[in-house]
């Protein structure tokens, strides 16, 4: 029996996670999945109830469970709080606490949705790339950091840092994933300007020696952003630092036409994972039955694959999502002319109904 901590979070988080739970319940009753669910608070809603975006109770539950399913965090009402009390701190704190260093962000174009992309169909059709983002180091966590007074004016600073071991472990993640795909890793840095980039590049070269079957190339981050939009199909696996990965993964997600379709995994060395949709909490459409629950439902599939080794059931979820898309059902964000537009809850029911 696997135990999963469910953290809906804020905004559309509650609605979309509710749909994923419907799917899990059906899999539990009819397909021998034995997943026990534990419920907790994170983000702004946790702050409202407990005064902290990451209550101790949530941290304890995270340690007692085998993985986490998260909706999304953030919203306008919490934006002016102290940095340590903001919803994002809940997310960053969980990543750090559970040492979820390896963030997998696939960008896959569903053939049914090729016309939803803002790019030409021939540029994106068949797109299947994986961004492997380092998630618990780099400039996001580096010290010193702050906003202080200096030389008679205000001064802001952050520090980008990586130990060799931190680069090595994310490198190994990327190469091992590439071995199961097209065996190509593109490492993204800014070695032409930053020492940390030069260092990153050298460490990746070292890791590559363990994987003679995988091709390693390097690209500067600015060029990588350009290439993602120009010819995204040239990439198989991209590996990069926390900050570049944040930016490039949003770019990659958009190539597919809907960020509402893409799940993600954040793993530690024991394959404990936090699974969440790539998109945010979308407070502007929260509570209106408009959000696309498919990324969250597909996050459950990713969890079954990467943390629980239940490939068969994961494939059932993927097949059910494909079937619903084939039947022409779409939430508003992915709808084109002639589609059957449905709400969040109905989309959840359709996926449950398509499981077989
Ligand atoms: C992401 C998000 C987070 C990040 C925010 C919400 C802290 O943008 O997961 O990509 O910057 O990592
Ligand atoms: Mg981001």
In which domain, by residue range, is 181 found?
107-131+164-258
Q: Is residue 119 part of a domain?
A: yes
Within this chain, do residues 120 and 221 fall inside the same structural domain, yes or no? yes
We report the CATH number of the domain holding residue 229 as 3.40.50.2300
φ, ψ for residue 207, nearest 5 deg? -60, -40
Within this chain, do residues 56 and 79 fall inside the same structural domain, yes or no? yes
User: How many folded domains does the chain comprise?
Assistant: 2
**Predicted pLDDT of residue 115:** 82
Q: Which ligand is nearest to the CA of 90?
A: 1
Q: Is residue 93 part of a domain?
A: yes
Within this chain, do residues 247 and 115 fall inside the same structural domain, yes or no? yes
Q: Show which of 215, 240, 258 is a domain's final residue.
A: 258
Within this chain, do residues 5 and 88 fall inside the same structural domain, yes or no? yes
Within this chain, do residues 202 and 66 fall inside the same structural domain, yes or no? no
Q: Is residue 159 part of a domain?
A: no
We report the CATH number of the domain holding residue 72 as 3.40.718.10
Give, using CA atoms, the residue closest to atom 7 of ligand 1. Answer: 88
Q: Show which of 258, 286, 320 is a domain's final residue.
A: 258
Q: Apex CA 111: angle with CA 108 and CA 113, to 5°?
A: 85
Residues of the chain with pLDDT under 50: none
Q: Is residue 140 part of a domain?
A: no
**Predicted pLDDT of residue 155:** 98
Within this chain, do residues 90 and 112 fall inside the same structural domain, yes or no? no
Ligand 1 atom closest to the CA of 264, numbered from 1:
9
Give, using CA atoms, the residue closest to atom 4 of ligand 1. Answer: 246
Q: Is residue 142 part of a domain?
A: no
Q: Show which of 191, 226, 258 is a domain's final residue.
A: 258
Give this prediction's pTM: 0.95
Compute, in angstroms, the gap from residue 88 CA to the centroid of ligand 1. Answer: 7
Compute, in angstroms, the gap from residue 107 CA to the centroid of ligand 2. Answer: 14
**Predicted pLDDT of residue 199:** 98
**Predicted pLDDT of residue 114:** 85
Within this chain, do residues 239 and 305 fall inside the same structural domain, yes or no? no
Within this chain, do residues 171 and 290 fall inside the same structural domain, yes or no? no
Within this chain, do residues 76 and 116 fall inside the same structural domain, yes or no? no
Within this chain, do residues 168 and 83 fall inside the same structural domain, yes or no? no
Q: Is residue 234 part of a domain?
A: yes
**Predicted pLDDT of residue 292:** 97
Give, using CA atoms, the residue closest to atom 10 of ligand 1. Answer: 246
Compute, in angstroms, the gap from residue 277 CA to the centroid of ligand 2. Answer: 11
Within this chain, do residues 175 and 208 fall inside the same structural domain, yes or no? yes
Within this chain, do residues 169 and 89 fall inside the same structural domain, yes or no? no
**Predicted pLDDT of residue 258:** 78
Q: Is residue 151 part of a domain?
A: no
Q: Is residue 174 part of a domain?
A: yes
Q: Taking CB atoms and a 6 Å cutoff, what residues make up the pocket around ligand 1?
A: 88, 91-92, 246
């Amino acid at each position: 029996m696997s135990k999963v901590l469910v953290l809906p979070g804020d905004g559309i988080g509650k609605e979309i996670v509710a749909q994923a739970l419907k799917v899990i319940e059906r899999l539990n009753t009819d397909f021998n999945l034995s997943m026990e669910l534990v419920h907790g608070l994170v983000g702004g809603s946790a702050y409202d109830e407990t005064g902290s975006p990451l209550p101790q109770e949530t941290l304890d539950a995270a340690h007692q469970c085998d993985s986490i399913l998260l909706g999304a965090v953030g919203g306008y009402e919490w934006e002016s709080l102290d940095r340590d009390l903001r919803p994002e701190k809940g997310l960053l704190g969980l990543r750090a606490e559970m040492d979820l260093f390896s963030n997998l962000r696939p960008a896959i174009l569903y053939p049914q949705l090729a016309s939803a992309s803002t790019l030409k169909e021939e540029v994106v059709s068949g797109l299947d790339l994986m961004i492997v983002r380092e998630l618990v180091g780099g400039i996001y966590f580096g010290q010193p950091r702050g906003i202080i007074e200096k030389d008679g004016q205000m001064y802001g600073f952050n520090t980008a840092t990586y130990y060799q071991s931190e680069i090595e472990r994310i490198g190994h993640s990327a190469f091992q994933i590439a071995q199961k795909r097209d065996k190509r890793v593109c490492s993204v840095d800014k070695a032409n300007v930053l020492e940390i980039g030069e260092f990153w590049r050298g460490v990746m070269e070292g890791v590559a020696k363990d994987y003679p079957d995988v091709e390693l190339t390097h690209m500067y981050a600015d060029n990588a952003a350009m290439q993602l939009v120009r010819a995204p199909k040239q990439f198989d696996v991209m590996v990069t630092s926390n900050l570049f990965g944040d930016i490039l993964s949003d770019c990659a997600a958009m190539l597919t036409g809907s960020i509402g379709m893409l799940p993600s995994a954040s793993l530690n060395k024991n394959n404990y994972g936090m699974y969440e949709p790539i998109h945010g909490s979308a407070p502007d459409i929260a509570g209106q039955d408009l959000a696309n629950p498919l990324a969250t439902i597909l996050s459950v599939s990713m969890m079954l694959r990467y943390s629980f080794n239940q490939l068969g059931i994961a494939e059932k979820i993927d097949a059910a999502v494909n079937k619903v898309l084939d039947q022409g059902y779409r939430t508003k964000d992915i709808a084109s002319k002639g589609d059957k537009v449905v709400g969040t809850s109905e989309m959840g029911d359709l996926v449950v109904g398509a499981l077989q």
